[in-house]
């Protein structure tokens, strides 16, 4: 399904499956639990309780983690659901996606363009193909790549709601002018440039992709230990 570029669509993830990226980083009583996964916002909320209880049991976490895991998931789902029903402009938008991930011993960096207007896109399938093409063997890398793509698409979708809202306000305040449509077309592009810190336009980046090669590196145990120690210091 391709969303119409002429008008807004109702907010959702601009992918085939409407899955919300959920990120957890909980510390309590000297223990830390970090995880990242997707969640179907249509699932009943009692599934959150089941997930939190099973996670605490399987990982032998202190009982207090149950409440914190449940509340964190509920809060992130509430943020997503707050946008549901609102208009968002996807238009004919090609957006840059950047990857800079470390998963276990694998370091992967890449950048590519994504059609925000294609509601049949599949980040998980794309990630599987990318890992296969790059010869990545760690089975945890693919899900991490897909999650990183979904996080960025989620941010852009939220930005698209803001663009739709600003466009409506512009049309109300400037009836009879074409300011609203101009705002709709240029506002999101400016938001994309700010969000991804690109000094050039998305069209310019398309040309850059011809010479940009993805990078995959396998880290030694010593390099992983050093990175994890640095991440731990930053977390404090």
Place of tokens 């599949």: 122
Question: pLDDT exceeding 70 applies to what percent of the chain?
Answer: 76
d(CA 91, CA 88): 9
- Does the pLDDT at position 164 exceed 60? yes
d(CA 121, CA 100): 21
pLDDT value at residue 173:
52
- Does the pLDDT at position 194 exceed 50? no
- Does the pLDDT at position 5 exceed 80? no
pLDDT value at residue 90:
76
- Does the pLDDT at position 197 exceed 80? no
- Does the pLDDT at position 13 exceed 50? yes
d(CA 67, CA 142): 29
d(CA 144, CA 127): 8
Rounded to an integer, the average pLDDT of 30-34 is: 93
Please tell me whether residue 220 adopts helix, strand or coil conformation.
Answer: coil
Question: pLDDT exceeding 90 applies to what percent of the chain?
Answer: 64
- Does the pLDDT at position 47 exceed 90? yes
CA atoms within 13 A on the CB side of 17: 14
**207 within 8 A of 94, measured Cβ to Cβ:** no
pLDDT value at residue 171:
56
pLDDT value at residue 190:
37
C-alpha to C-alpha distances, 10 to 7, 15, 38, 86, 88, nearest whole angstrom: 10, 13, 20, 6, 6
* Residue count (the chain): 236
**131 within 8 A of 141, measured Cβ to Cβ:** yes
pTM recorded for the entire structure: 0.79
Better-predicted residue by pLDDT, 94 or 192: 94
C-alpha to C-alpha distances, 68 to 18, 27, 180, 199, nearest whole angstrom: 25, 9, 43, 40
Least confident of 72-76, 188-192, 220-224, 228-232: 188-192
Rounded to an integer, the average pLDDT of 101-122 is: 94
What is the average pLDDT score of the chain? 83
Rounded to an integer, the average pLDDT of 13-38 is: 95
- Does the pLDDT at position 154 exceed 80? yes
Q: Which residue(s) pair with 127 in the sheet?
A: none
Better-predicted residue by pLDDT, 164 or 144: 144
Band (pLDDT 50/70/90 cuts) for residue 211 is low
């Amino acid at each position: 399904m391709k969303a119409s570029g002429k008008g807004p669509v109702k907010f959702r993830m601009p992918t085939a499956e409407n899955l919300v990226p959920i990120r957890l980083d909980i510390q309590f009583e000297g223990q830390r639990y970090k995880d990242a996964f997707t969640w179907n916002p249509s699932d009943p909320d009692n599934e959150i309780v089941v997930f939190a209880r099973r996670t605490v049991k399987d990982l032998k976490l202190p009982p207090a983690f149950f409440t914190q895991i449940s509340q964190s998931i509920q809060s992130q789902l509430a943020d997503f659901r707050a946008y549901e029903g609102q208009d968002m402009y996807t238009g004919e938008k090609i957006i840059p996606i950047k990857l800079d991930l470390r998963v276990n011993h694998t370091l992967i960096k890449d950048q590519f363009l994504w059609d925000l207007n294609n509601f049949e896109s599949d980040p998980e399938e794309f990630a599987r193909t990318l890992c296969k093409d790059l010869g990545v063997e760690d089975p945890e890398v693919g899900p991490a790549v897909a999650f990183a793509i979904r996080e960025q698409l989620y941010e852009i979708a939220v930005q698209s709601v803001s663009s739709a809202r600003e466009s409506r306000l512009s049309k109300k305040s400037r009836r009879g002018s074409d300011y609203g449509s101009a705002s709709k077309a240029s506002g999101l592009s400016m938001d994309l440039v700010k969000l991804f810190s690109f000094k050039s336009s998305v069209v310019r980046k398309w040309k850059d992709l011809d010479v940009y090669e993805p990078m995959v590196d396998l880290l030694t145990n010593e390099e992983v230990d050093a990175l994890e120690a640095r991440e731990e210091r930053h977390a404090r």
